[in-house]
Amino acid sequence: MLTGFVLFYVGAVLFLNGLWLMGRIADREIVVINVVAATVSGASVLHDAFGAGAGAASIRNGALSLLFCTTYLWVAYNRFSGADGRGLGWFSLFVAVTAIPVTLRAFAEAASGTELWLAGNWLVWGVLWFLYFLLLALGRPIQRQTAWVTLLAGIFTGWLPGFLLLDGLV
């Protein structure tokens, strides 16, 4: 159930960040959903990685989840402070590279359709973080494409599966 809760807000923040990249949401206004998503994912990390019954797997998952939390906080900070995003771009490269072995491991260990879907999500998220690197750190003119990938990733890797998990349909 907690996974559905977090994915639901990952979907919301990615969808809205996609709209923001398209120029449909103001810089200062996008801060709210990024802080909310960071809080939700951060609370999940605290619960899973450091709560009762925490073990190696939950700590690993917590470390990976903090990549999302940090990204959302950094977007919020940049929009609040007016920073240009280059630091977030370089962090995004770090995350995109980290996503490669995570994706490969997830595909290799997948034993169900849900686990294959999660492996596919890591692939999409890794591509998305790489696009942020190209856009923010290297200044490539790909904002429109990055916006669409962000928006669609929000729907198909976050909101839809999160909603289905919350409704008990998956």
Return d(Cα 105, Cα 67) in angstroms, integer: 17
Q: Which residues of 45-75 are buried (b: 16+ CB within 10 A; e: fewer)?
A: beebbeeeeeeeebeebbebbbbbbbbbbbb
Q: Which of 60, 135, 57, 62 is nearest to 96 (CA)?
A: 135
What pLDDT shows up at residue 101?
98
Q: With contact defined as beta carbons under 8 Å apart, do 100 and 108 qualify?
A: no
Q: Which of 140, 120, 118, 119 is nearest to 131 (CA)?
A: 140
Return d(Cα 8, Cα 160) in angstroms, integer: 7
Q: Which of 138, 139, 109 is nearest to 122 (CA)?
A: 109
Return d(Cα 149, Cα 44) in angstroms, integer: 25
User: Could you tell me the domains of the chain?
Assistant: 2-166 (1.25.40.600)
What pLDDT shows up at residue 52?
82
Q: Whole-model pTM?
A: 0.94
Read off the tokens for 87.
């630091």
Read off the tokens for 48.
């899973």
What pLDDT shows up at residue 140?
98
Tens digit of pLDDT at every position of the chain (170 positions): 688 999 999 999 999 999 999 999 999 999 999 999 999 999 988 888 887 888 888 889 889 999 999 999 999 999 999 999 999 999 999 999 999 999 999 999 999 988 999 999 999 999 999 999 999 999 999 999 999 999 999 999 999 999 999 999 87
Residue in this structure with the two tokens 């990685």, named with its chain if needed: 49
